Chains A and B, each alone.
Chain A
């Protein structure tokens, strides 16, 4: 049977994906260009008995989201640059206390209030380094409306599986663009739920270091009582001053990412086998890059496209591999050079050329093609 296809906006696809993944809790604060997600879920969640609340600011929104998750819900919040800045302390908390939640950030021009209705990709380093302290980060970067749906589902799965906050970052262009989207039927996409404890209540340790990712009970629902804190803690969740356990805790929240890269990383490659000119592009910019890459091949230029869908953790190994054949990496991004720094780090000795735009206008294919031709 043919699948239902609907013509929808990026933010609408995000809400659709969240509901598909089983999201039943949303807390947020309105901000352009992400507001549609809050609006749609404010309409849809009560219909399925889900919880939805508009908080007094983004600090409170991430806090309530984490609280909702600990109350046993699949929890989401959505925002844009200024709100992302406010959410940072809560994001660090979720990383430290290992609480699953999903954060959508629809990127608009910055810094500060910037250009609320214009696109940008200038929060990519905020995703990685925004909150203080060493902390694990997973950030997904879809390029199309259908991909926003599927990547939002994947974000929930990763959050639940690895007990951590997971980001979906896309620019205003994909957020507000409309495209036909095939609506998945139940069962079409994998859905992951967090592991629940099965031990006796008195034996339960929410940070049991015998597990790579310890099962997480819900407050008041599963018959387990436990403590959660943002302080360095031991297996039982209580604060610790034991330097060995502190070290182990700091490393283990990072290790759960490093040890599972194959599961977390995802990217699309086009004509990379013999690529000498590698386009590294994401979000709406990858659409222009993809067009330019095809045009370049038509002209006989050995250009390839590397498009990360998981931006953080960075696809380090794949870039190192590509760097063996590449003579240049071209990194178009709507910022003044963020991901290009990571490409540079993983491709030592190889030229990395940024195409950067911060005027609120998209980077168009002609601009990228022109750059490719300079290197042919």
Chain B
């Protein structure tokens, strides 16, 4: 059915993703059940709601399954090196502050090899949206533990259970100076779209940690039955919306991660500040 016909019958109009997708680049490389595609779709709907054109967006990534996202979208796109996306994005943004920078990165890409760049990007408060596809595993290399792997989890490099404590990406982002920090999941798709939209609209460094599932490498090794089982256990039952926190007794919050916008403050943006440096130098 065409969008026109659907409208006439008052049916909900199917979202047309094709205007943002690059012709001929699908199918994607993601495994069946992977949450990365859900994030991509939510992102495209958020972009549509904001009304950004393809030319106005520059999407940068590092290396990993999540970092393959820019290869499917028809924006200005750059697939860089493992962990370094934020530094490349910083250069592009400084050279061309009018571009809306969106970085898609994995938990390993952003927080392990790219950890240093992550904290310093947040500290600078340079205007970009960082979407951390947080699947608790190194997907691309076949399921090794990452800085967000929960302690005790089995991975191909933690056959006896992961022994390292894991990072809280959001706390790290906030402590580092990001002016927008949120957590979302691939289970709560409407909320995911709203959160990404708010993140893009925020001026300054925005970080969204998106809990998503890797059924093949994390799920199988940790006895999850399916992708949907993972989504229910980890994303639905493992999280609580910030909006409900006040209404719930403490025992219901135990061991749960908060979802929603966790931190949002105004802060002078890096390129704006730099523009003032130029003025001062030219005075």
Contact = CB atoms under 8 A, between A and B. Distances in A.
Interface string A44-76: 001101010101110111011111111111010
Contacts of B56: 220
A291 interface: no
Contacts of A231: 79
Nearest to A101: B91
A63 B55 contact: no
A219 B94 CA distance: 12
B120 A230 contact: no
A310 B265 CA distance: 52
A229 B91 contact: no
A180 interface: no
Contacts of A63: 80-81, 84, 87-88, 90-91, 117
A67 B81 contact: no
Interface in A8-32: 25, 27
Contact of A93 (B58, B80, B95, B281): B80
Contacts of B55: 220, 223, 225
Contacts of A47: 281-282
B234 to A, nearest CB: 31
Interface string B81-112: 10010011111111110110000000000000
B116 A57 contact: yes
B277 interface: yes
Contacts, number: 139
A229 B79 contact: yes
B117 A68 contact: no
A60 B76 contact: no
A67 B274 CA distance: 17
Contact of A67 (B75, B77, B92, B281): B92
Contact of B96 (A57, A71, A239): A71
Given A67-B87, A225-B54, A89 B81 contact: yes
B274 to A, nearest CB: 7
Which of the four size classes fits the interface of chain B? 35 or more
Contacts of B219: none
Q: Which of A51, A75, A223 has the most CB of B within 10 A?
A: A51
What's the dominant secondary structure at chain A's contact region? mixed
B282 A226 contact: no
Interface string A187-228: 000000000000000000000000000000011110101111
Interface string B241-283: 0000000000000000000000000000000001001101110
Given A60-B84, A225-B55, A226-B76, A72 B95 contact: yes
A244 to B, nearest CB: 19
A201 to B, nearest CB: 9
B3 to A, nearest CB: 24
What's the dominant secondary structure at chain B's contact region? helix
A248 B81 CA distance: 22
B280 A53 contact: no
A27 B116 CA distance: 16
Contacts of B177: none
Given A220-B76, A239-B71, A93 B81 contact: yes
A165 interface: no
B91 A218 contact: no
Q: Which of B54, B278, B280 has the most CB of A within 10 A?
A: B278
Given A225-B76, A228-B78, A66 B91 contact: yes
B143 interface: no
Interface in B209-265: none
A179 B78 CA distance: 43
A69 B80 CA distance: 14
B35 interface: no
Contact of B117 (A25, A60, A71): A60
A89 B114 CA distance: 14
B74 interface: yes
A238 interface: yes
B96 A25 contact: no
A304 interface: no
B58 A219 contact: yes
Contacts of A228: 77-79
Given A46-B282, A63-B84, A225-B55, A51 B117 contact: no
B90 A64 contact: yes
Given A67-B89, A225-B75, A227-B70, A73 B280 contact: no
Contact of A51 (B87, B95, B98): B95
A38 to B, nearest CB: 15
B8 interface: no
A226 B95 CA distance: 17
A55 B94 CA distance: 12
B10 interface: no
A46 B117 contact: no
A90 interface: yes
9 contacts: A46-B278, A63-B90, A68-B92, A71-B96, A218-B95, A220-B58, A227-B77, A228-B77, A230-B80
Interface of B: 22, 25, 54-56, 58, 60, 70-71, 74-81, 84, 87-96, 98-99, 116-117, 120, 274, 277-278, 280-282
Given A46-B280, A49-B278, A69-B95, 8 more contacts: A27-B91, A56-B116, A64-B94, A219-B78, A221-B96, A225-B74, A225-B77, A227-B71
> Ordered nearest first, which 6 A-B pairs have the shortest CB separation?
A67-B91, A71-B95, A63-B87, A46-B281, A64-B91, A60-B87
